[in-house]
């Protein structure tokens, strides 16, 4: 199945050589790595900005910056983290790299469109960062661009809005590419319910990308039109409605949470069976719950707006659906734990991160119910509690799943083994640092600490101090993890084709994969995730 004679995609010399061989490549694996390197760079930029904010908040009063600088920092930190890293993140990196391999294809359906998506992505990302330095000062609206302030702010809001708009196009095109690839390019015999679960997660995600992203694109254009042309979409003085902006923004931005978390769920769903050497528990339930999350996730946006003056019936409706969407997520958690139950558990770094994902995602999920409940939402809205909740979901969920995926697929992607001991130590730093950074926000949030606040009352000092210490520990862990990967890339041992004894298709081809993935397209005869019985695997 795997081609031993073809050069690997890293060595392949096509029409273009050197850097051009990467920047003009339509190979899905190279494009996946282009996304990876871009995302890593932007992640460390945004993480550094976050660290600066934490240093400012280590004590009450001014520490290292002025209030307006702080406003600019939390805005660009949010824009980069949300629009440049977590929304494209897993789908763009691991989706691009592994989707064709996992379904037995040689590439995605539209390789040139795939490369174009990356160029759109990098254009939007660079524009977002440049908005800090252009025009009349860094945008200070927060990543949510709420009107009326985003219409009135004298800062470079239009640059940031344009950046988010362009990034949205990249997301739509990637989603479209994945939908067509999954529909049209699955290997012979790979019926829908023989497809591995990561592609299923990408499929559910892609539909959200295609259907929800245009709404925020139009909404951001409406804000630009209101600023530039004075059209009254959202300004009451011009006949507009500011709550309409919140509806339109969250109609996209809540499903966007599922754009981030569904691929994360897909990644850990691949990891649990491999490191338990046991078939995934409840394959069908995981598939249906992915689709259910994607579908119900469209209709819960109003839970971001409970204090906005929305009607009582709308609040009741959105609160009810928010509790409903927790059900398929809980089904997945049950399935992951049941997959491990009775298995031959091998606690390697990918599994450590995947188990951490469950732990942190559950804390994020349960505290989400506090925010989804009407009565408690009024108390916790716009407090540090919300900051803690979404960092547990986004960083604890998507971030840790990304780290899990990196440790799981690194040997396949680069053909090198990393140092397990260093990876475990880095995990310890990351896990402890993360919890110390964000858990105090739950407590000071309940006590009344507002979010996005430059200064605070003395009673919140302990929480903020601990949080800043956690930020330093987390940064140390992240740098150690990065060092481990870079070191492995240069001096790591050569990775075998299947270091973790996995059974899905990527483990049947050499590490790193050949240029066209497969010598012959494999024929699929059964469901994935059968261990210990060769005739029942994907072979």
Partner 1 sequence: MRDEKNHISTYRSLVTVLVILLALTTISVLITGIHLGPVTVAVALLIASVKVAIVITQFMHLKFENLFLKLAVSGVLTLFVLVIVITFIDYFFR
446 binds partner 1 (CB under 8 A): no
Which is nearer to partner 1, 37 or 316 (by Cβ)? 316
Which is nearer to partner 1, 45 or 300 (by Cβ)? 300
State the Cα–Cα distance between residues 94 and 175, nearest whole angstrom: 13
Which is nearer to partner 1, 175 or 470 (by Cβ)? 175
Which is nearer to partner 1, 302 or 350 (by Cβ)? 302
Among 251, 296, 425, 476, binds partner 1 (CB under 8 A): 251
Among 12, 44, 146, 317, binds partner 1 (CB under 8 A): 317
502 binds partner 1 (CB under 8 A): no
State the Cα–Cα distance between residues 336 and 341, nearest whole angstrom: 9
Which is nearer to partner 1, 12 or 323 (by Cβ)? 323
User: What is the closest distance, in whole angstroms, from the C-beta atom of residue 425 to partner 1 in the complex?
Assistant: 47
- Structure token pair of residue 186: 């699955």
User: What is the closest distance, in whole angstroms, from the C-beta atom of residue 250 to partner 1 in the complex?
Assistant: 10
SS3 144: coil
State the Cα–Cα distance between residues 493 and 161, nearest whole angstrom: 45
User: What is the closest distance, in whole angstroms, from the C-beta atom of residue 314 to partner 1 in the complex?
Assistant: 4
Among 10, 243, 425, 479, binds partner 1 (CB under 8 A): 243
Residue 318 near residue 374, CB atoms below 8 Å = no
Which is nearer to partner 1, 44 or 295 (by Cβ)? 295
State the Cα–Cα distance between residues 200 and 215, nearest whole angstrom: 24
State the Cα–Cα distance between residues 358 and 370, nearest whole angstrom: 19
Site track for partner 1 across 196-235, x = CB under 8 A:
---------------x------------------------
Label residues 397-411 b or e (16+ Cβ within 10 Å = b). bbbbbbbbbbbbbbb
Classify the phi-psi angles of 40: left when phi > 0, otherwise alpha if psi is within -120 to 50, otherwise beta: alpha
312 binds partner 1 (CB under 8 A): yes
- Asked whether the bond before 512 is cis by omega within 30 degrees of 0, the reply is yes
Q: How crowded is residue 458: how many other Cβ atoms within 10 Å of its Cβ?
A: 9
- Binding range to partner 1, per CB under 8 A, among 5-13, 135-143, 310-318, 449-457: 310-318
Label residues 415-424 b or e (16+ Cβ within 10 Å = b). bbbbbeebbe
User: What is the closest distance, in whole angstroms, from the C-beta atom of residue 327 to partner 1 in the complex?
Assistant: 19
Q: Which helix (H) or strand (E) holds 171?
A: helix 157-184
User: What is the closest distance, in whole angstroms, from the C-beta atom of residue 310 to partner 1 in the complex?
Assistant: 5
User: What is the closest distance, in whole angstroms, from the C-beta atom of residue 252 to partner 1 in the complex?
Assistant: 10
- Binding range to partner 1, per CB under 8 A, among 5-13, 58-66, 313-321, 510-518: 313-321
User: What are the angstrom distances between the C-alpha of 46 and each of 74, 143, 323, 406?
Assistant: 9, 13, 32, 19
Among 59, 224, 310, 326, binds partner 1 (CB under 8 A): 310
Among 28, 30, 77, 247, binds partner 1 (CB under 8 A): 247
Nearest alpha carbon to residue 143 among 123, 163, 170, 126? 163
User: What are the angstrom distances between the C-alpha of 507 and each of 125, 134, 179, 230?
Assistant: 33, 47, 24, 57
User: What is the closest distance, in whole angstroms, from the C-beta atom of residue 466 to partner 1 in the complex?
Assistant: 40
User: What is the closest distance, in whole angstroms, from the C-beta atom of residue 318 to partner 1 in the complex?
Assistant: 8
Q: Please enumerate, as own/partner, the contacts of 324-328 that have beta carbons within 8 Å and a separation of 24 or more.
A: 324/296, 325/293, 325/296, 325/297, 325/300, 326/365, 326/368, 326/369, 326/372, 327/292, 328/288, 328/289, 328/290, 328/292, 328/293, 328/296
Task: Please give the residues from 129 up to 188 whose contact with partner 1 meets the rule CB under 8 A.
Answer: none
Number of residues this chain uses to bind partner 1 (CB under 8 A): 14
Task: Please give the residues from 280 up to 309 whose contact with partner 1 meets the rule CB under 8 A.
Answer: 298-299, 302, 309
User: What is the closest distance, in whole angstroms, from the C-beta atom of residue 384 to partner 1 in the complex?
Assistant: 28
User: What is the closest distance, in whole angstroms, from the C-beta atom of residue 293 to partner 1 in the complex?
Assistant: 15
The strand pairing partners of 8, in sequence order, are 514
State the Cα–Cα distance between residues 310 and 51, nearest whole angstrom: 36
User: What is the closest distance, in whole angstroms, from the C-beta atom of residue 536 to partner 1 in the complex?
Assistant: 31
104 binds partner 1 (CB under 8 A): no
* Residues at the interface with partner 1 (CB under 8 A): 211, 243, 247, 251, 298-299, 302, 309-314, 317
């Amino acid at each position: 199945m795997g081609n031993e004679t073809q050069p690997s995609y890293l060595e392949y010399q096509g029409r273009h050589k050197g850097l051009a061989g990467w920047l003009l490549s339509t190979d899905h694996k190279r494009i996946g790595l282009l996304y990876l390197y871009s995302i890593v760079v932007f992640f460390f930029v945004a993480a550094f900005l976050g660290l600066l904010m934490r240093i400012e908040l280590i004590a009450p009063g001014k520490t290292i910056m002025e209030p307006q600088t702080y406003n600019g920092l939390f805005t660009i930190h949010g824009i980069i983290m949300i629009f440049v890293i977590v929304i494209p993140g897993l789908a763009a990196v691991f989706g691009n790299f592994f989707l064709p391999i996992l379904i037995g294809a040689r590439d995605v359906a539209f390789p040139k469109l795939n490369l174009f998506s990356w160029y759109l992505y990098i254009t939007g990302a660079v524009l977002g960062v440049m908005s800090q330095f252009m025009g009349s000062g860094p945008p200070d609206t927060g990543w949510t661009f709420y009107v009326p302030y985003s219409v009135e702010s004298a800062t470079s809001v239009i640059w940031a809005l344009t950046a988010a708009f362009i990034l949205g196009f990249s997301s739509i095109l990637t989603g479209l590419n994945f939908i067509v690839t999954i529909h049209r390019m699955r290997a012979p015999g790979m019926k829908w319910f023989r497809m591995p679960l990561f592609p299923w997660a990408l499929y559910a995600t892609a539909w959200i990308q295609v259907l929800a992203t245009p709404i925020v694109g139009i909404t951001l254009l409406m804000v630009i039109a209101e600023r530039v042309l004075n059209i009254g979409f959202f300004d009451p003085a011009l006949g507009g409605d500011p709550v309409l902006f919140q509806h339109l923004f969250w109609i996209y931005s809540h499903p966007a949470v599922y754009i981030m978390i569904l691929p994360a769920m897909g990644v850990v769903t691949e990891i649990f069976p491999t490191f338990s050497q046991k078939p995934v528990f409840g394959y069908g339930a995981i598939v249906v719950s992915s689709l259910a999350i994607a579908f119900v996730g469209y209709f819960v946006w109003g839970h971001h707006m409970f204090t906005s003056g929305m009607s009582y019936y709308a609040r009741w409706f959105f609160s009810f659906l928010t509790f409903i969407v927790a059900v398929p997520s809980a089904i997945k958690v049950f399935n992951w734990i049941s997959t491990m139950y009775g298995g031959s558990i091998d606690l390697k770094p990918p599994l450590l991160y995947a188990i951490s994902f469950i732990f942190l995602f559950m804390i994020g999920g349960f505290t989400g119910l506090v925010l989804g409940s009407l009565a408690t939402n009024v108390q916790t809205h716009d407090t540090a509690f919300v900051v803690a909740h979404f960092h547990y979901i986004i960083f604890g969920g998507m971030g840790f799943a990304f780290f899990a995926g990196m440790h799981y697929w690194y040997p396949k992607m680069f053909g090198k083994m990393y140092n397990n001991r260093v990876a475990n130590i880095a995990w310890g730093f990351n896990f402890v640092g993360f919890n110390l950074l964000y858990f105090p926000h739950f407590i000071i949030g309940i006590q009344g600490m507002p979010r996005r606040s430059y200064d605070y009352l003395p009673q919140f000092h302990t929480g903020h101090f601990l949080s800043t210490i956690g930020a330093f520990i987390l940064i140390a862990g992240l740098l150690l993890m990065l060092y481990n990967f870079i070191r492995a890339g240069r001096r790591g041992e050569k990775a075998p084709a299947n270091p973790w004894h996995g059974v899905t298709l990527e483990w049947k081809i050499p590490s790193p994969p050949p240029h066209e993935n497969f010598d012959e397209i494999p024929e699929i005869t059964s469901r994935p995730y059968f261990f210990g019985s060769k005739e029942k695997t994907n072979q």
